[in-house]
Each structure stands twice: as C-alpha cells, then as structure tokens.
Amino acid sequence: MSSTFTIQPSRRVAGTMRVPGDKSISHRALMLGAIASGTTRIAGFLPGEDCLATLAAIRAMGVGVEQHDATTITVHGKGLHGLRAAATALDMGNSGTAMRLFMGLLAAQGFDSTLVGDESLSRRPMERVAVPLRLMGADVRTTDGKPPVHIAGQRRLQGIRYAMPVASAQLKSALLLAGLYADGETELTEPAISRDHTERMLISFGQPVSCKGLTVSLRGGGQLSGTDIQVPGDLSSAAFFVLAGCLAAEGELVIDNVGLNPTRTGILRILELMGAELQVEPAAGSGAEPVGRLIVRPSQLQGVRIPPELVPLAIDEFPMVFVAAALAHGETIVSGAAELRHKESDRISVMVAGLRALGIEVEELPDGARIQGGTFSGGTIDSRGDHRVAMSFAIGAARATAPVRILDTDNVATSFPGFVSQAAAVGLAIKAAPNG
C-alpha cells in the first residue's frame, strides 16, 4: 500500500516556518563523525529515511551513536581505522548519496562490505564512482553497473589527479573520502561548480583541504577530530515553499534558518530570473555553512532560458523548476540537465508526463525540456515513487483549476518528514491518505 496526496486549489500562502535539516550535511556529519577521533555532536539532524539509513550503517560498523531526540545526535567516533565489518549487507534504502559516499569511505577499510538499496536505488548507476576508485587501487564491483555494490577490504589506495566527467558533489565527496586513506595527494577537477559541503566539513574536522577554482585536493595520512555540527534547514526543502509563496495569489511567507551555501543557491537565482519576489537575509556569524532567512511574496513568473551554469547548482530542484515553468507566462527552456535522467526516477520523462497530464504543452528534450507556460487542470499524477516529483506537483497543484491526486508518495519521508503538515500550516489544501 502506498500513499496518495490530494490537493485542492488555494489562494493564500502565509506564515513563518522552518524546514527540516539539510540532508546532504546530515549524511556527511554522520560519516565524518564515525571516522573522527572523539565525539561529534550534531544538532538539527534530518530524521528522514535516507539519513537514518546512514545512521544505521555506521552503527552496524561498530560506531556508538546516541540519539537524544529526533534532531540531536552524538557520534562517538572510532577514528579512520576503527570501523569493523558489518554482520550483513549495509542497506542504503533509497539514498544514492549514502551509497556513493560509502563506496569511497569503505574502499580502504580492512574488511569487505556490500551495499544494497531498495528497488529504485538498485536501478541507479554506480560505475561513475567505481571507475576512479579503481584507479586509486580499490576493488569495487557493481552489478551490471548498478547496486548491489561489493567492496573488497585491505586495499592500499593511491592518490590520483582526476578530471571529473561531470560536476557531481556525490562523486567528488566519495573520492575525497577515499583520499583520506590514500598515499599522497588526491586532486579533483570538475567541469563546473558543485556542492562543497564535504570540503567545508572536512576543514571543520581538522583536515586541510585546498580549494582553487574548480580544483580541490587533500593529502591522506591525517586524522579527523570530533567537532560540533549545526545543520541548517535544507534549502532544497525550503525551495518548495519558496515556489508556493511565489505562486500564491496573496500572503507573505517567511522561512527561517535556511542554509545559504553559494553552491546550493542556484534555485534561488533561477527563480529570481523568472521574476520571483524574493528577499534573502543572511545571518551573521553562522559558521562553516552560511545561514539566513527567506521572505517570499506572490510573483508574476516569466518563462526564461535556464542558464547552463546554474544547472549543477540546482540539479536536485529541477522538478520544481519544471512546475514553475509550467505556471509561468511564456516559454521556458531547460537544457544541459541530462543528469536528471539518473535520479530517483528519470526526472525528465516523469515530469514531462506529469505536466502533460495536467494540460501543459511540453516538448521532451534529451537533456531537458521546452515548456510552454499555462494553467494546471485537475488530474492524476504518478510520481513514480520520486519524492521531489511528488512535492513539486503538490506545490503546483495549489494553482490548478480542479483537484489533483499524486500517487506513490511514500518516499517523501526520505527527505522531508512532515511535508504535508507544514504545507497545510501555511495554507495549502493538501491531504495524504493510503492508496490501497
């Protein structure tokens, strides 16, 4: 049995809210805390299913974890070489981030490991990470390029100089984690900027990292020291409500304590290009990760050609960009986003199908779409189990002319527990029910 969202049209979005902690930062805080020496205290942790899979994995490898409440965790680190073999395969659930980062972390351990995932994750490609890990000396075997992933232990890694084929924070982070264990220097150069949470957090744990333009490097052989991590609100989650505020006919929405890392704010820049009435107020002295407040007002969105340089800075938010484009005036062109075909679903084809189901004229492109703005009719959307697809259509459905049903929404809990209640609290007419 899977759950279904039903959304009625609504006009007003208003109030003050906070969104759950950043998923990317929560994953990394657990992993680095596990291999640090000493204690790491994490506040603002995201208790979504993806991050809980990472927590279960480090526990299975002998790391002591105290969960004081849903969002406050203490990790008793084992040091770089203190992990032990898990009794069974490590289940990453639906989390591509967890699986790819653990591939790097486990590549130099003294024991064998197997990483598995759910049906959706088991269809996602893993060779992009496996190939450079093998160049470093790791023994990583995928299953026809996909999970399960088998990692042999007791391999000595060597630092490499690697030109990454795509801008990918997951790939970069996996190789940096492996580089902690490698002899010599690991130097990675990206074709464009991607999220830099791993680099910032490694520095917080005491590991020197050099960042020069599109190149990042570190030397193996050091050690990490436990620290305190304050996880800000997830900008990817906040972005849904930024769009809700823009699409509303009336009201003002304030979102507090949002992470404003400049490698993540591409979605805000895209919405501003489309005409979003959006105010960003950075907070002073917020530590390694910039934090602030977003104030959103009803806006007249306009179609645009999405600048290619913003695509990797907003890749996770593109289902929401498709919805914004569908409800804007004029045409929007998305290109250079072929990576969307390798997410929790083929997000290009799933979004195109959903937009057409709601009456929008859209042309599917190999690396994006050409979307003619219009009005959502009522209808039924199959989210294909993709949490971001489900939430994006839920936000846009508030502007439909009739009710919208969104199927297969269970995985929303992977990244945004409490989404329905928070959406209802600021004015969306949304209900979740089992779909037996």
Q: Which of 91, 316, 382, 408 is catalytic?
A: 316
350 with 391, same domain: the answer is yes
DSSP-derived pairing of the beta strands 379-382 and 404-407: parallel
Q: Quote the domain boundaries for residue 161.
A: 23-230
12 with 71, same domain: the answer is no
Which residues, listed in sequence order, are joined to residue 115 by a DSSP beta bridge?
A: 90, 149
42 with 171, same domain: the answer is yes
Neighbour order of strands in the sheet with 139-143: 90-91, 113-116, 146-152, 139-143
Nearest to 10 by CA among 377, 376, 427, 431: 427
Q: What is the pLDDT of residue 88?
A: 97
Q: What is the pLDDT of residue 176?
A: 98
436, burial (CB in 10 Å: exposed 0-12, middle 13-18, buried 19+): exposed
Alpha-carbon distance values, 273 to 126, 269, 359 (Å):
34, 6, 25
Percent of the chain past pLDDT 90, that is, above it, reads 93
Phi, psi of 247 (to 5 degrees): -80, -20
Per-residue tokens: 255: 């979102």
Query: In the annotation, is 316 catalytic?
Result: yes
| Domain-ending residue, one of 214, 230, 246 | 230
213 with 317, same domain: the answer is no
Domain count, the chain: 2
359 with 276, same domain: the answer is yes
258 with 366, same domain: the answer is yes
55 with 87, same domain: the answer is yes
Query: Residue ranges of the chain with pLDDT lower than 50?
Result: 436
CA dihedral 174, 175, 176, 177 (to 10 degrees): 50
Q: What is the pLDDT of residue 184?
A: 98
Q: What is the pLDDT of residue 286?
A: 60
User: Across all residues in the chain, what is the average pLDDT?
Assistant: 96
Q: Is 133 helix (H, G, I), strand (E, B) or coil?
A: helix
Alpha-carbon distance values, 373 to 141, 247, 377 (Å):
45, 13, 13
208 with 313, same domain: the answer is no
358 with 225, same domain: the answer is no
E-assigned strands of 87-153?
Answer: 90-91, 113-116, 139-143, 146-152
Residues ≥6 apart with Cβ < 8 Å to 53: 91, 92, 93, 94, 95, 98
| Domain-ending residue, one of 203, 230, 257 | 230
Say which CATH number the domain at 141 has.
Answer: 3.65.10.10
Pairwise CA distance, residues 381 & 375, whole Å? 15
Q: What is the pLDDT of residue 436?
A: 46
Nearest to 362 by CA among 322, 402, 403: 322
**Residues 3 and 405: beta-carbon distance below 8 Å:** no
Q: What is the pLDDT of residue 215?
A: 98
300, burial (CB in 10 Å: exposed 0-12, middle 13-18, buried 19+): exposed
**Residues 224 and 199: beta-carbon distance below 8 Å:** no
Indicate the pTM of the whole model. 0.90
Q: What is the pLDDT of residue 1?
A: 54
Identify the DSSP state of 71: T
Q: Is 349 helix (H, G, I), strand (E, B) or coil?
A: helix
Per-residue tokens: 9: 């049209």
Cis bond before residue 312 (omega within 30° of 0): no
260 with 175, same domain: the answer is no
| Domain-ending residue, one of 179, 201, 230 | 230
220 with 326, same domain: the answer is no
Using one digit for the tens of pLDDT, what is the confidence trace for 177-211? 999 999 999 999 999 899 999 999 999 999 999 99
384 with 256, same domain: the answer is yes
